[in-house]
Structure 1
Amino acid sequence: MATSQRVLQLPGWLDSGPAHWQSRWEALHGDQRVQQADWIWPRRGDWMAQLDETILADPRPAVLVAHSLGCHLVAAWAAHSQHTARVQGALLVAPPDLGRPDMPPNVARWHPAVLQPLPFPATLLHSDDDPFCSADAARTLAAAWGAPAHSVGAAGHVNGDSGLGDWPAGRAWLRQLGR
């Protein structure tokens, strides 16, 4: 990524732990995590307001890197914010299917998902064996958001439990998005 951009990490429900590629990217590349007040009982409006504040706190353009519920944050924020022009692109990784009957009650208020095209370039990466979203559902979300969908193979929820380490392949997708 160019130094004139900043990379904002948007973790999902329960945040991203130290073994998660998002945390590792922060340490390796200096990315900035958008901190939320409540990772356990996330409120969509609160998360959207925090993203807006973070975007406005720095005049440099941003690239968003979202995991899991963070992908739905990007979609909801983009549908309502007046500051989407400050975002140059978004990498959306492993969005959950919010319509699943087994979704935890903690994220129930995020349903229904916002399904509008994003006003900036985006790429969606999904796993073929994500326990929270089928590949078909991920492709449906990608189509609604106007983002090409790409499989990363069998990688579970593409999180710390997936054993991806620094996940250089994911960073390559981010660099490609930034071009």
Structure 2
Amino acid sequence: MSRAQVLILPGWNSSGPEHWQSRLEAAHPDFVRVEQRDWAQPNLEDWAGTLEAYVARATGPVVLVAHSLACVTVAHWAGADESRVRAALLVAPADVERPDVPPELVGFAPVPLRPLPFPSVLVASRNDPYCSLERARTFAHAWGSRLEDAGQAGHINTASGHGEWPLGETLLKDLLNRCTETHAS
């Protein structure tokens, strides 16, 4: 089996040049960033459609690396028979049902609470201002994701000091290795 195509899925307003996703992409030129048409005014149908188009264009198996609102996009998009995606790393999901959610994100609610059709790791922080650890646990349980507690890591973005993020790279390498081992046998 060929190595999986890694798709980087930034959240609302994209990931700036110092964000861990951008650094990961820069370090791995074969990784592909999913470019949404409108980062500032996200639309669920558009974002899910764009994700679908990128997955459909991939020439082999796919691993998703999603942050924040992109995690919710993956949960909405993933169908029951999504065989092209081998795994997903879901980092700091946005709780779009919280009372203080920005109006731009309301269209992504409610968050689907059904199993994802591929293995996933959900990384959550104990002090994420956009999703409580309890809510992240609910998502992980519903999606069938392994929960990784990142401790006091904020929203796991540049503002919380996560330009370089070794844990993320380690988790992604582990997912890629497991995908290769699982499909090589």
When normalised by structure 2's length, the TM-score is 0.91
CA contact (8 A) 2:157 2:163 kept: no
| 1:79–1:116 Cα contact (<8 Å) kept | no
* SS of corresponding position for 1:99: coil
Q: Structure 1: how far apart are the matches of 2:40 and 2:163?
A: 25
The count of residues paired between Structure 1 and Structure 2 equals 176
Specify the SS of the correspondent of 2:89: strand
Q: Do the aligned residues in 2 keep the contact of 1:8 with 1:64 (CA within 8 Å)?
A: yes
The answer to whether residue 3 in structure 2 is matched with residue 11 in structure 1 is no
Match of 1:71 in 2: 71
**Cα distance in 2 for residues equivalent to 1:24 and 1:17:** 9
Structure 1: which 5+ runs fail to align? none
Shift of 1:3: 5.9
**Alignment match of 1:129 (pick from 127, 130, 135):** 127
CA distance in 1, matches of 2:20, 2:2: 21
Question: 4+ runs of 1 displaced by more than 4 Å?
Answer: none
- Which aligned pairs between 1:36-55 and structure 2 lie closer than 5 A? 36-55=36-55
Q: Superposition RMSD on alpha carbons, in Å?
A: 1.4
Instruction: Identify the residue that residue 101 of structure 2 maps to in structure 1.
Output: 103
Displacement after TM superposition at 1:139 (Å):
0.4
Could you tell me which runs of 5 or more consecutive residues in structure 2 were left unpaired when the two chains were aligned.
179-185
Amino acid at match of 1:137: R
**What's the CA shift for 1:4?**
2.3
Residue identity in the other structure for 1:67: H
Please, what TM-score do these two structures have when normalized by structure 1? 0.94
Distance in 2, Cα, partners of 1:114 & 1:70? 13
